Structure 1
Amino acid sequence: MQTALNKVIAALQDFYAQERFLLERDFGERTLTHRLAVYVERQFAGWQVDCNYDRLGERTLRLPHGSTVSSDDHLGKSIYPDIVVHQRDIPNNLLAIELRKESNHQPIEHDQHKLRALTDPLVWFAYEIGVLVIVGRDGVTSSEVYAGGAIERGASLWFAERLRVSGLARRRDDDAGR
Protein backbone atom coordinates (compact mmCIF):
# COMPACT_ATOMS: atom_id res chain seq x y z
CA MET A 1 0.00 0.00 0.00
CA GLN A 2 2.79 2.44 0.90
CA THR A 3 4.42 1.99 -2.50
CA ALA A 4 1.21 3.02 -4.28
CA LEU A 5 0.64 5.91 -1.87
CA ASN A 6 4.20 7.15 -2.42
CA LYS A 7 3.44 7.20 -6.15
CA VAL A 8 0.32 9.29 -5.48
CA ILE A 9 2.49 11.72 -3.49
CA ALA A 10 4.98 11.94 -6.36
CA ALA A 11 2.09 12.62 -8.77
CA LEU A 12 0.78 15.35 -6.44
CA GLN A 13 4.25 16.91 -6.29
CA ASP A 14 4.36 17.07 -10.10
CA PHE A 15 0.78 18.35 -10.20
CA TYR A 16 1.54 21.23 -7.83
CA ALA A 17 4.83 22.01 -9.58
CA GLN A 18 3.28 22.13 -13.07
CA GLU A 19 -0.32 23.29 -12.66
CA ARG A 20 -0.01 26.68 -10.93
CA PHE A 21 -1.96 28.31 -13.77
CA LEU A 22 -5.03 26.14 -13.13
CA LEU A 23 -4.79 26.34 -9.35
CA GLU A 24 -4.35 30.12 -9.20
CA ARG A 25 -7.30 30.69 -11.54
CA ASP A 26 -9.59 28.35 -9.60
CA PHE A 27 -10.38 25.95 -12.45
CA GLY A 28 -13.01 23.28 -11.84
CA GLU A 29 -12.54 19.86 -10.28
CA ARG A 30 -12.88 18.01 -13.58
CA THR A 31 -10.01 19.96 -15.08
CA LEU A 32 -7.85 19.41 -11.99
CA THR A 33 -8.78 15.72 -11.90
CA HIS A 34 -7.69 15.25 -15.50
CA ARG A 35 -4.38 16.99 -14.92
CA LEU A 36 -3.67 14.96 -11.77
CA ALA A 37 -4.46 11.78 -13.74
CA VAL A 38 -1.72 12.72 -16.22
CA TYR A 39 0.83 12.72 -13.38
CA VAL A 40 -0.61 9.58 -11.80
CA GLU A 41 -0.24 7.79 -15.13
CA ARG A 42 3.48 8.62 -15.22
CA GLN A 43 3.93 6.94 -11.82
CA PHE A 44 2.12 3.67 -12.58
CA ALA A 45 3.92 2.04 -15.50
CA GLY A 46 2.12 -1.07 -16.75
CA TRP A 47 -1.27 0.10 -15.48
CA GLN A 48 -4.07 2.01 -17.19
CA VAL A 49 -5.17 5.29 -15.63
CA ASP A 50 -8.63 6.63 -16.44
CA CYS A 51 -10.98 9.38 -15.30
CA ASN A 52 -14.67 8.71 -14.62
CA TYR A 53 -14.26 5.08 -15.64
CA ASP A 54 -17.41 3.07 -14.95
CA ARG A 55 -16.59 -0.33 -16.45
CA LEU A 56 -14.93 -3.63 -15.75
CA GLY A 57 -14.61 -5.30 -19.13
CA GLU A 58 -18.10 -5.09 -20.61
CA ARG A 59 -19.81 -4.69 -17.23
CA THR A 60 -20.88 -1.32 -15.85
CA LEU A 61 -19.80 -0.57 -12.28
CA ARG A 62 -23.06 -0.63 -10.36
CA LEU A 63 -23.65 -0.51 -6.68
CA PRO A 64 -25.23 -3.51 -4.95
CA HIS A 65 -29.01 -3.56 -4.58
CA GLY A 66 -30.03 -1.75 -1.41
CA SER A 67 -26.75 0.14 -1.13
CA THR A 68 -26.88 3.37 0.84
CA VAL A 69 -23.99 4.79 -1.15
CA SER A 70 -24.93 7.64 -3.45
CA SER A 71 -23.99 7.39 -7.10
CA ASP A 72 -23.50 9.72 -10.03
CA ASP A 73 -26.16 8.84 -12.56
CA HIS A 74 -29.85 9.62 -12.87
CA LEU A 75 -30.77 6.00 -12.18
CA GLY A 76 -28.82 6.07 -8.93
CA LYS A 77 -26.90 2.87 -9.65
CA SER A 78 -23.72 3.56 -11.64
CA ILE A 79 -20.58 4.80 -9.97
CA TYR A 80 -17.87 6.94 -11.60
CA PRO A 81 -14.57 7.25 -9.71
CA ASP A 82 -12.58 10.43 -10.48
CA ILE A 83 -9.31 8.61 -11.25
CA VAL A 84 -8.60 4.89 -11.32
CA VAL A 85 -5.42 2.87 -11.70
CA HIS A 86 -6.37 -0.54 -13.04
CA GLN A 87 -6.17 -3.08 -15.82
CA ARG A 88 -9.18 -2.52 -18.02
CA ASP A 89 -9.89 -6.00 -19.30
CA ILE A 90 -9.32 -8.06 -16.16
CA PRO A 91 -10.56 -7.54 -12.61
CA ASN A 92 -7.34 -5.98 -11.33
CA ASN A 93 -8.29 -2.71 -9.69
CA LEU A 94 -5.47 -1.12 -7.73
CA LEU A 95 -6.36 2.45 -6.84
CA ALA A 96 -9.33 4.83 -6.91
CA ILE A 97 -8.78 8.53 -6.25
CA GLU A 98 -11.44 11.09 -5.45
CA LEU A 99 -10.25 14.69 -5.83
CA ARG A 100 -12.06 17.64 -4.24
CA LYS A 101 -11.27 21.30 -4.25
CA GLU A 102 -11.19 22.80 -0.79
CA SER A 103 -13.73 25.38 -2.03
CA ASN A 104 -16.24 22.61 -2.82
CA HIS A 105 -19.15 23.19 -0.45
CA GLN A 106 -21.05 20.02 -1.36
CA PRO A 107 -21.12 17.41 1.42
CA ILE A 108 -17.91 15.39 1.55
CA GLU A 109 -19.92 12.30 2.49
CA HIS A 110 -20.64 11.56 -1.19
CA ASP A 111 -16.93 11.05 -1.92
CA GLN A 112 -16.38 9.16 1.33
CA HIS A 113 -19.29 6.79 0.61
CA LYS A 114 -18.03 6.27 -2.92
CA LEU A 115 -14.56 5.29 -1.67
CA ARG A 116 -16.06 2.92 0.89
CA ALA A 117 -18.03 1.23 -1.89
CA LEU A 118 -15.12 1.17 -4.33
CA THR A 119 -12.85 -0.56 -1.79
CA ASP A 120 -15.46 -2.91 -0.33
CA PRO A 121 -14.08 -6.45 -0.76
CA LEU A 122 -17.63 -7.80 -1.04
CA VAL A 123 -18.21 -5.83 -4.24
CA TRP A 124 -17.06 -7.58 -7.42
CA PHE A 125 -15.08 -4.57 -8.72
CA ALA A 126 -13.32 -3.63 -5.47
CA TYR A 127 -10.19 -1.49 -5.62
CA GLU A 128 -7.36 -2.34 -3.24
CA ILE A 129 -6.88 1.29 -2.17
CA GLY A 130 -8.99 4.43 -2.21
CA VAL A 131 -7.61 7.92 -1.67
CA LEU A 132 -9.54 11.12 -1.00
CA VAL A 133 -7.47 14.23 -1.66
CA ILE A 134 -8.72 17.74 -0.98
CA VAL A 135 -6.64 20.24 -2.90
CA GLY A 136 -6.15 23.93 -2.24
CA ARG A 137 -4.21 26.46 -4.28
CA ASP A 138 -1.01 25.93 -2.31
CA GLY A 139 -1.27 22.34 -1.17
CA VAL A 140 -3.34 19.40 -0.01
CA THR A 141 -5.62 20.47 2.82
CA SER A 142 -6.90 17.04 3.79
CA SER A 143 -6.66 13.40 2.78
CA GLU A 144 -8.01 9.98 3.70
CA VAL A 145 -7.00 6.46 2.69
CA TYR A 146 -9.54 3.65 2.31
CA ALA A 147 -9.13 -0.13 2.18
CA GLY A 148 -11.48 -3.02 2.83
CA GLY A 149 -14.55 -0.78 2.54
CA ALA A 150 -13.53 1.57 5.38
CA ILE A 151 -11.20 4.40 6.18
CA GLU A 152 -7.76 3.02 7.00
CA ARG A 153 -6.71 5.17 9.97
CA GLY A 154 -3.07 4.06 10.13
CA ALA A 155 -2.54 4.52 6.38
CA SER A 156 -4.38 7.86 6.48
CA LEU A 157 -2.07 9.14 9.22
CA TRP A 158 1.00 7.82 7.41
CA PHE A 159 -0.13 9.43 4.12
CA ALA A 160 -0.87 12.77 5.81
CA GLU A 161 2.57 12.76 7.42
CA ARG A 162 4.25 11.95 4.09
CA LEU A 163 2.34 14.83 2.49
CA ARG A 164 3.54 17.12 5.29
CA VAL A 165 7.17 16.01 5.00
CA SER A 166 7.07 16.45 1.21
CA GLY A 167 5.80 20.01 1.61
CA LEU A 168 2.44 19.26 0.02
CA ALA A 169 0.22 19.45 3.09
CA ARG A 170 -1.35 22.74 4.02
CA ARG A 171 -3.77 23.27 6.84
CA ARG A 172 -7.08 24.85 5.85
CA ASP A 173 -6.62 27.69 8.32
CA ASP A 174 -3.31 28.72 6.66
CA ASP A 175 -5.39 30.93 4.34
CA ALA A 176 -6.86 32.92 7.25
CA GLY A 177 -4.17 35.59 7.11
CA ARG A 178 -4.33 36.07 3.33
Structure 2
Amino acid sequence: MQTELNKVIAALQDFYAHEGFLFEKDVGERAVTHRFAVHLEKQFPGWSVDCNYDRLGERTLHLPHGTIISTDDHLGKSIYPDVVVHQREIPNNLLAIEIRKANNHTPLEHDEHKLQALTDVHVWFPFWIGLLLVLDMQGVKISEVYVSSIVDQPLSRWFAARLAEVGLGAAP
Protein backbone atom coordinates (compact mmCIF):
# COMPACT_ATOMS: atom_id res chain seq x y z
CA MET A 1 0.00 0.00 0.00
CA GLN A 2 2.91 2.34 0.61
CA THR A 3 3.79 2.12 -3.08
CA GLU A 4 0.34 3.38 -4.07
CA LEU A 5 0.36 6.06 -1.39
CA ASN A 6 3.79 7.25 -2.54
CA LYS A 7 2.24 7.73 -5.99
CA VAL A 8 -0.47 9.88 -4.39
CA ILE A 9 2.25 11.95 -2.73
CA ALA A 10 4.03 12.39 -6.07
CA ALA A 11 0.72 13.54 -7.59
CA LEU A 12 0.22 15.98 -4.70
CA GLN A 13 3.71 17.40 -5.24
CA ASP A 14 2.95 17.90 -8.94
CA PHE A 15 -0.48 19.33 -8.12
CA TYR A 16 0.92 21.89 -5.66
CA ALA A 17 3.75 22.81 -8.05
CA HIS A 18 1.29 23.69 -10.83
CA GLU A 19 -2.12 24.50 -9.36
CA GLY A 20 -1.60 27.28 -6.79
CA PHE A 21 -4.01 29.46 -8.76
CA LEU A 22 -6.90 27.26 -7.59
CA PHE A 23 -6.28 28.18 -3.96
CA GLU A 24 -5.41 31.81 -4.67
CA LYS A 25 -8.77 32.29 -6.41
CA ASP A 26 -10.63 30.02 -3.95
CA VAL A 27 -12.23 27.93 -6.69
CA GLY A 28 -14.70 25.19 -5.82
CA GLU A 29 -13.77 21.73 -4.59
CA ARG A 30 -14.85 20.05 -7.82
CA ALA A 31 -12.28 22.05 -9.77
CA VAL A 32 -9.60 21.18 -7.19
CA THR A 33 -10.60 17.52 -7.33
CA HIS A 34 -10.48 17.45 -11.11
CA ARG A 35 -7.06 19.06 -11.35
CA PHE A 36 -5.68 16.69 -8.69
CA ALA A 37 -7.06 13.74 -10.70
CA VAL A 38 -5.20 15.00 -13.78
CA HIS A 39 -1.91 14.82 -11.85
CA LEU A 40 -2.82 11.50 -10.21
CA GLU A 41 -3.50 9.89 -13.58
CA LYS A 42 0.17 10.33 -14.54
CA GLN A 43 1.16 8.16 -11.56
CA PHE A 44 -1.09 5.20 -12.41
CA PRO A 45 -0.46 4.07 -16.00
CA GLY A 46 -2.76 1.22 -16.97
CA TRP A 47 -5.45 2.34 -14.53
CA SER A 48 -8.45 4.61 -15.05
CA VAL A 49 -8.63 7.72 -12.87
CA ASP A 50 -12.13 9.19 -12.67
CA CYS A 51 -13.95 11.89 -10.73
CA ASN A 52 -17.45 11.30 -9.33
CA TYR A 53 -17.57 7.82 -10.86
CA ASP A 54 -20.77 6.06 -9.77
CA ARG A 55 -20.46 2.64 -11.43
CA LEU A 56 -19.45 -0.81 -10.36
CA GLY A 57 -18.95 -2.57 -13.68
CA GLU A 58 -22.31 -2.09 -15.41
CA ARG A 59 -24.23 -1.32 -12.21
CA THR A 60 -24.71 2.00 -10.44
CA LEU A 61 -22.69 2.16 -7.24
CA HIS A 62 -25.30 2.00 -4.47
CA LEU A 63 -25.02 2.01 -0.73
CA PRO A 64 -26.57 -0.81 1.27
CA HIS A 65 -29.99 -0.30 2.92
CA GLY A 66 -29.80 1.18 6.38
CA THR A 67 -26.50 2.93 5.83
CA ILE A 68 -25.86 6.14 7.73
CA ILE A 69 -23.98 7.64 4.81
CA SER A 70 -25.70 10.41 2.92
CA THR A 71 -25.44 10.39 -0.85
CA ASP A 72 -25.16 12.89 -3.63
CA ASP A 73 -28.16 12.10 -5.82
CA HIS A 74 -31.78 13.19 -5.50
CA LEU A 75 -32.98 9.66 -4.74
CA GLY A 76 -30.38 9.22 -2.02
CA LYS A 77 -29.14 5.88 -3.34
CA SER A 78 -25.96 6.20 -5.37
CA ILE A 79 -22.54 7.25 -4.16
CA TYR A 80 -20.00 9.43 -5.96
CA PRO A 81 -16.40 9.19 -4.74
CA ASP A 82 -14.39 12.35 -5.54
CA VAL A 83 -11.55 10.50 -7.28
CA VAL A 84 -11.08 6.80 -7.95
CA VAL A 85 -8.24 4.75 -9.38
CA HIS A 86 -9.68 1.56 -10.84
CA GLN A 87 -10.13 -0.72 -13.81
CA ARG A 88 -13.64 0.00 -15.01
CA GLU A 89 -14.59 -3.20 -16.80
CA ILE A 90 -13.43 -5.82 -14.29
CA PRO A 91 -14.23 -4.07 -11.75
CA ASN A 92 -10.95 -3.76 -9.90
CA ASN A 93 -11.03 -0.94 -7.35
CA LEU A 94 -7.68 0.25 -6.09
CA LEU A 95 -8.05 3.69 -4.53
CA ALA A 96 -10.94 5.98 -3.51
CA ILE A 97 -10.08 9.55 -2.50
CA GLU A 98 -12.28 12.14 -0.85
CA ILE A 99 -10.88 15.68 -1.15
CA ARG A 100 -11.96 18.71 0.83
CA LYS A 101 -10.69 22.22 0.97
CA ALA A 102 -9.64 23.30 4.46
CA ASN A 103 -12.07 26.23 4.37
CA ASN A 104 -15.00 23.80 4.00
CA HIS A 105 -16.43 23.87 7.51
CA THR A 106 -19.03 21.17 7.11
CA PRO A 107 -18.34 18.13 9.31
CA LEU A 108 -15.97 15.49 7.95
CA GLU A 109 -18.36 12.65 8.88
CA HIS A 110 -19.90 12.43 5.40
CA ASP A 111 -16.54 11.83 3.73
CA GLU A 112 -15.35 9.53 6.53
CA HIS A 113 -18.50 7.38 6.31
CA LYS A 114 -18.25 7.26 2.54
CA LEU A 115 -14.66 5.96 2.75
CA GLN A 116 -15.68 3.41 5.37
CA ALA A 117 -18.36 2.10 3.00
CA LEU A 118 -16.14 2.19 -0.09
CA THR A 119 -13.47 0.07 1.62
CA ASP A 120 -15.86 -2.33 3.39
CA VAL A 121 -15.12 -5.87 2.18
CA HIS A 122 -18.64 -6.98 3.12
CA VAL A 123 -20.53 -4.51 0.92
CA TRP A 124 -19.35 -4.90 -2.72
CA PHE A 125 -16.09 -4.97 -4.65
CA PRO A 126 -14.30 -2.69 -2.21
CA PHE A 127 -11.58 -0.22 -2.89
CA TRP A 128 -8.30 -1.54 -1.54
CA ILE A 129 -7.40 1.87 -0.07
CA GLY A 130 -9.50 4.88 0.90
CA LEU A 131 -7.89 8.26 1.45
CA LEU A 132 -9.25 11.45 2.99
CA LEU A 133 -7.34 14.62 2.09
CA VAL A 134 -8.08 18.09 3.45
CA LEU A 135 -6.12 20.61 1.39
CA ASP A 136 -5.21 24.27 1.74
CA MET A 137 -2.82 26.57 -0.08
CA GLN A 138 0.28 25.21 1.70
CA GLY A 139 -0.47 21.49 1.63
CA VAL A 140 -2.40 18.68 3.27
CA LYS A 141 -3.94 19.71 6.60
CA ILE A 142 -5.59 16.37 7.41
CA SER A 143 -5.10 12.91 5.95
CA GLU A 144 -6.58 9.54 6.86
CA VAL A 145 -5.94 6.18 5.22
CA TYR A 146 -8.83 3.68 5.24
CA VAL A 147 -8.40 -0.07 4.85
CA SER A 148 -11.24 -2.58 5.37
CA SER A 149 -13.64 0.21 6.44
CA ILE A 150 -11.51 1.59 9.28
CA VAL A 151 -8.83 4.24 9.61
CA ASP A 152 -5.52 2.39 9.51
CA GLN A 153 -3.66 4.37 12.17
CA PRO A 154 -0.11 3.10 11.43
CA LEU A 155 -0.55 3.68 7.70
CA SER A 156 -2.14 7.10 8.34
CA ARG A 157 0.84 8.10 10.50
CA TRP A 158 3.27 6.83 7.87
CA PHE A 159 1.43 8.80 5.16
CA ALA A 160 1.41 11.99 7.26
CA ALA A 161 5.13 11.58 7.97
CA ARG A 162 5.86 11.17 4.23
CA LEU A 163 3.81 14.30 3.49
CA ALA A 164 5.85 16.19 6.10
CA GLU A 165 9.11 14.89 4.57
CA VAL A 166 8.23 16.36 1.17
CA GLY A 167 6.98 19.64 2.66
CA LEU A 168 3.27 19.08 2.10
CA GLY A 169 2.12 18.46 5.66
CA ALA A 170 2.85 18.92 9.33
CA ALA A 171 4.68 16.18 11.19
CA PRO A 172 2.25 13.63 12.69
Contact 1:116/1:149, CA 8 A, preserved across alignment? yes
Contact 1:81/1:98, CA 8 A, preserved across alignment? yes
Where in structure 1 are there 5+ consecutive unaligned residues? 172-178
User: 3-state SS of the aligned residue for 2:42?
Assistant: helix
Equivalent-residue separation in structure 2 for 1:107 and 1:63 (angstroms) = 20
Instruction: Give the alignment's Cα RMSD to 1 decimal.
Output: 1.0
Alignment of 1:2-151 (within 5 A): 2-151=2-151
Count of residue correspondences: 171
Contact 1:61/1:125, CA 8 A, preserved across alignment? no
Where in structure 2 are there 5+ consecutive unaligned residues? none
- The Cα shift of 1:170 comes to 4.4
1:18 maps to amino acid: H
- The Cα shift of 1:73 comes to 1.3
Q: TM-score, normalised by structure 1?
A: 0.94
Q: Give CA-to-partner distance per residue, 1:15-46, whole Å, 9 cap, x none.
A: 00000111111111000000000011000010
2:54 maps to amino acid: D
Contact 1:11/1:36, CA 8 A, preserved across alignment? yes
The match for 1:174 is: none
Contact 2:97/2:132, CA 8 A, preserved across alignment? yes
Q: TM-score, normalised by structure 2?
A: 0.97
User: 3-state SS of the aligned residue for 2:65?
Assistant: coil
Equivalent-residue separation in structure 1 for 2:47 and 2:12 (angstroms) = 18
Equivalent-residue separation in structure 2 for 1:69 and 1:19 (angstroms) = 31
Equivalent-residue separation in structure 1 for 2:68 and 2:23 (angstroms) = 33
Contact 1:41/1:48, CA 8 A, preserved across alignment? yes
Q: Give CA-to-partner distance per residue, 1:109-167, whole Å, 9 cap, x none.
A: 00000000000001113100000000001111110000101111111000000000010
- The Cα shift of 1:59 comes to 0.1
Q: Which moved more, 1:59-68 or 1:78-87?
A: 59-68
Equivalent-residue separation in structure 1 for 2:47 and 2:149 (angstroms) = 22
User: 3-state SS of the aligned residue for 2:162?
Assistant: helix
Equivalent-residue separation in structure 1 for 2:120 and 2:95 (angstroms) = 12
Identity within the alignment, %: 65
1:34 maps to amino acid: H
Contact 1:138/1:170, CA 8 A, preserved across alignment? no
